[in-house]
Amino acid sequence: MTIDLARSEDRDALVEAASGVHYVVNSAGLIRVKPILEFTVEDLRDIYAVNVEAVWDITSRVGRSIPRGGAIVNLSSASAKLPTNTDIAVYASSKAAVISLTRSFAYAFAPSGVRVNAICPGILMSGMQDAVIASIAAIRGTTVEAVERERVAAVPLGRATNPKECAGVIAFLLSDAADYITGQALSHDGGMVTG
């Protein structure tokens, strides 16, 4: 099934297809890279439709029918917890909203025994990350390599993460080993955010 999470009709189809599930991972995300003063209201609406509205809608509707012991993991971002460059500020603010929704849904679903957590990846090797780095380099008038070096230099462990590592953290949060963890926004960022 291919859907556009910004469209309520498509989310309706997803919610119907998800009937009877025990676990949900809200992993879709939309990012636009440009100086914050160049963003438009339309940019904000587009980003929030996917990154916030869809997370709220799917979590709210599917979460009600998840049986006791089930779990939801929402993908936020380390950018939601850090002072960020102004080129991704709207994305960062949407991911901060995901953390807030995660905490609220954790309380809402606790009586039914459904856990809700978030993971906050830092620099994740992906096609999206490649596009972000290229866009930042173009805005700053520098090279992709220079932006990559600067970003990795901000990571205490000195490297980016990869999808397999993130999937492992998500699998843990969905597993019985994490059945006493809810309402958390777990940083997975090589030490960029501590505490």
Instruction: Give the integer Cα–Cα distance in Å for 11 and 58.
Output: 7
Q: Which of 23, 48, 91, 107 is the catalytic position?
A: 91
Residue 23 annotated as catalytic: no
Please tell me the predicted confidence (pLDDT) of residue 182: 98
Q: What's the pLDDT band for 86 if we cut at 50, 70, 90?
A: confident
Please compute the mean of the pLDDT values over residues 108-119 and round it to a whole number. Answer: 98
Domains of the chain: 25-188 (3.40.50.720)
Instruction: Give the integer Cα–Cα distance in Å for 190 and 78.
Output: 10
Instruction: Give the integer Cα–Cα distance in Å for 136 and 138.
Output: 5
Question: Residue 77: is its pLDDT beyond 80?
Answer: yes
pTM over 0.75: yes
Question: Residue 195: is its pLDDT beyond 80?
Answer: no
pLDDT (tens digit, 9 = 90+) per residue, 135-168? 999 999 999 999 999 999 999 999 999 999 999 9
